[in-house]
Structure 1
Amino acid sequence: MSGRLIEGVHVGWDNIRQCFSLDPAVSHLNHGAYGAVPIAVQRAQQRFRAEMESNPMRFFRSDLTERIAHTRRHLATFLGADPEGAALVPNATSGAAIVLRSLGLRPGDEVLTTDHGYGAVGLAVQRECRLTGATTRTLAVPLQATDEEIVGIVRAGLRPGRTRLLVVDQLTSPTARLFPATAIVAAAREHGVPVLVDAAHAPGMLATPVDAVGADFWVGNLHKWAYTPRGTALLVVAPAWRERIEPLVVSWLQEQGFPPRVEWQATQDYTGWLAAPTGLHVLRTLGPERVREHNAALVAYGQRVVAEALGLAPADLPQPGGPGVSMRLVPLPTGVATTTDAAVALHRLISDRLAAEVAVVGWQGRGWLRLCGQVYNYADEYDRLADGLPGVLAAAH
């Protein structure tokens, strides 16, 4: 049997589905939403939880901060980031909120976003602008825009002296589009505009190091595509900004500066962070490049067969904008799932009738199906979705 024994679980390509505790009666085709934690990683976290509960005083009062720092160094190295310029945070949205709060926005300032941004980050931008008197502006970027066109739209939208922050996604959540983040950051720097890159889906899926992007702020989740426990993300901050970063909640390590003041949040459960290196170990055991190639090829197949079932031609299908992207969009019929409520209702219908978990997104007045590919998926799961989806859509319409 190929593979390696990790936390008592044999991890290898010959038994890949058995490495996860997913319900085998369901087709899990939306890994990008919440990820799926391998059994080996679950067991590692359980071991840390047992340690914590056996003696909470010792667990929290001994060397916990150094153990957290060890995880941070491990994850930062994996991502190509400076460990001293990074901080563990619960998720990308939390990291974005920390950056927004630390900017010191004032009336007359502007935060610039695109219409491909993640909804919760958009809400965080709106809240901070409302509290500070700043304003927010959203740039419309066509779904099939080229990289050059995207950079041009962003460059034209910058207002030097007024735009205090540009928020751009590295890989968009609602539209599964790889943005030219490095070129966007370079264009913004020409005009002195700092950039926050929302890279929620990048760790594990994309091989591009953080440092190559060169953003002032970069935040990515590792619990989506890097197999760590949920609630594991890394906020990376350029040197010029580190001393200005403030946590959303002040705790006992506030005076130690960044990153401890951000990471230490009193009695939160840190066991997921401690187990995170095991998730990266699983990914390395499987082979990161092999995983990326497998996932991207599988979801491309899924996009094609589902699209064919809906009578769509290849020209109708949005492309992700780069190799290795493990998420694809399929446009739904006109008038279907165009609103958030309608998208939620259709998701439930697909889940109940087809035993398949997918993402249904209402974006720019049209409904979209977002599919993901992961090592535990098989081609026949997309085939079954394709066979049953037309009937479900007819019932929903």
Structure 2
Amino acid sequence: MSVPPPPEPITGARLLFSLDPAVSHLNHGSFGAVPIVAQRAQQRLRDEMEADPLRFFTQGLVDRIAHTRRHLAGFLGADPDGTALTTNATTGAAVVLQSLGLRSGDEVLTTDHGYGAVAYSIRRECHRTGATHRVLRVPLTATDDEVVQIVRDGLRPGRTRLLVVDQLTSATARLFPVAAIVGVAGEHGVPVLVDAAHAPGMLPASVRSIGADFWVGNLHKWGYAPRGTAVLVVATPWRDRIEPLVVSWEQDSGFPARLEWQATSDYTAWLSAPAGLYTLRSLGVDRVRAHNAGLAAYGQRVVGDALGVPPADLPDPGGPTVAMRLIPLPAGLATTLDGARALQTRIAERLATQVAVTTWDGRGWLRLCGQVYNTPEEYQRLAFGLPGLLVQR
């Protein structure tokens, strides 16, 4: 079966980034790439900060942060009063976990598609409080209805104090029906934290429409913001209970300022985030989403064909705007975290290509992303060189 054609490129988009042209950057989902306009906006803010630090930090900075927060919340379809800026999704999840007041006998429920760093945070909080962490197994091929039923069957009302579910999973590029899951959990009185690390900029869903108790997403991936820019959105009943990981001078101001203000932190990434969104809007949000999803699908087929993976065995991400795709690796490869990291490094060093290699359900997977700075030829070069590299144990 022939590979479908790639999408039409977005002319000039590659020139908006300062990425090394000698490397194929096919892993936007891990650390993103900051457009030059956002880099320059951040540098101007850093210059302002260093020119007069006392003035920068003490005259209007809280208001500038609040203005940025409202701008980002508007883009995400979130309530600005319930939105707080934070550094990344993992930090936002940690804030929620330590604000719950977990006790012995409580449990935090997740799926086996959850992000590893969030799982570490859950385990630490459970160890500290005596709560337990229980994991639901969700097959990669499960339908949305099956996923919802698995969650429904796994809830333990009165004991399950929090359900953590990914909107778009990092390890498996799986799109979860989070609005339906939130509805089911709400019927049983179980609050939900949606880990939407990859959603802002890639997925069109409004945060309000999901209705989660807590929703956390990164702007520094698909939203083109400088790294260290994320938001935690909290439903009204929980806002007074949210406490920062470190108490500082805005503590008495309540949420969200008490969470955002961390004294001498560098706030320039947050303040320049609108410049990243400006780039996305200038290119056309819907146009970028369609291009990136189409290019990731093209790359998946090209590389999958080179590895002898039938199209039927290439996982479907479950949505037309998902710009990350998985390819199963040959049996025995990257079955551990260390093995996955080693293979990812080998691909980077020998093929000059940055990809993500993940381990899930006892198997190694290659995760490819599509972004406006990528070209079909980059996936073709990976497809040409990867089979030979994989046989070199």
User: Which TM-score band (shorter chain)?
Assistant: over 0.9
1:365 is aligned to 2:393: no
1:283 is aligned to 2:290: no
1:177 is aligned to 2:166: no
Out of 194, 197, 201, the position equivalent to 1:197 is 194
State the superposition RMSD in angstroms. Answer: 0.7
Spell out, residue by residue over 1:319-372, the C-alpha distance to the aligned partner (whole angstroms, 9 max, x if none): 101110000000000000000010011011100110000000011110000000
CA distance in 2, matches of 1:14, 1:354: 26
CA distance in 2, matches of 1:343, 1:21: 28
Q: Which runs of 5+ in 1 are unaligned?
A: 1-11
Query: In structure 2, what is the equivalent of residue 376 of structure 1?
Result: 373
> SS of the residue aligned with 1:395?
coil
**How far did 1:14 drift?**
2.6
CA distance in 1, matches of 2:359, 2:200: 25
Query: In structure 2, what is the equivalent of residue 29 of structure 1?
Result: 26
CA distance in 1, matches of 2:309, 2:329: 10
Query: In structure 2, what is the equivalent of residue 129 of structure 1?
Result: 126
Query: In structure 2, what is the equivalent of residue 150 of structure 1?
Result: 147
Name the amino acid aligned to 2:107. E
Name the amino acid aligned to 2:28. H
CA distance in 1, matches of 2:388, 2:348: 13
> SS of the residue aligned with 1:164?
strand
Alignment of 1:299-318 (within 5 A): 299-318=296-315
Alignment of 1:250-261 (within 5 A): 250-261=247-258
1:225 is aligned to 2:222: yes
Query: In structure 2, what is the equivalent of residue 53 of structure 1?
Result: 50
Out of 102, 105, 110, the position equivalent to 2:102 is 105
Out of 197, 209, 219, the position equivalent to 1:212 is 209
Query: In structure 2, what is the equivalent of residue 187 of structure 1?
Result: 184
Name the amino acid aligned to 1:340. L
CA distance in 1, matches of 2:11, 2:104: 58
Spell out, residue by residue over 1:103-156, the C-alpha distance to the aligned partner (whole angstroms, 9 max, x if none): 000001000000000000000000000001101100000001000000000000
**How far did 1:13 drift?**
3.9
- Structure 1 runs (4+) deviating above 4 angstroms are none
Calculate the TM-score normalised by the size of structure 2: 0.97
Query: In structure 2, what is the equivalent of residue 5 of structure 1?
Result: none
Query: In structure 1, what is the equivalent of residue 264 of structure 2?
Result: 267
Out of 346, 349, 360, the position equivalent to 2:346 is 349
CA distance in 2, matches of 1:13, 1:19: 11
> SS of the residue aligned with 1:14?
coil
**How far did 1:185 drift?**
0.2
Spell out, residue by residue over 1:207-256, the C-alpha distance to the aligned partner (whole angstroms, 9 max, x if none): 00000100000000000001000000000000000000000000000011
CA distance in 1, matches of 2:108, 2:376: 42
Identical residues among aligned pairs (%): 71
Name the amino acid aligned to 1:356. T
Name the amino acid aligned to 2:160. T
> SS of the residue aligned with 1:174?
coil
CA distance in 2, matches of 1:42, 1:312: 40
CA distance in 2, matches of 1:180, 1:14: 34
CA distance in 1, matches of 2:39, 2:10: 19
Spell out, residue by residue over 1:183-213, the C-alpha distance to the aligned partner (whole angstroms, 9 max, x if none): 0000000000000000000000000000010
**How far did 1:23 drift?**
0.2
CA distance in 2, matches of 1:172, 1:16: 27
Query: In structure 1, what is the equivalent of residue 70 of structure 2?
Result: 73
Count of aligned residue pairs for this structure pair: 385
**How far did 1:15 drift?**
1.5
Spell out, residue by residue over 1:251-305, the C-alpha distance to the aligned partner (whole angstroms, 9 max, x if none): 0000110000000001000000010011111110000000000000000000001
CA distance in 1, matches of 2:263, 2:319: 41
Q: Which runs of 5+ in 2 are unaligned?
A: 1-8
Query: In structure 2, what is the equivalent of residue 95 of structure 1?
Result: 92
Spell out, residue by residue over 1:35-75, the C-alpha distance to the aligned partner (whole angstroms, 9 max, x if none): 00000000000000000000000000100000000110000
Spell out, residue by residue over 1:76-123, the C-alpha distance to the aligned partner (whole angstroms, 9 max, x if none): 000000000010000000000000000000001000000000000000
Query: In structure 2, what is the equivalent of residue 3 of structure 1?
Result: none
CA distance in 1, matches of 2:62, 2:344: 41
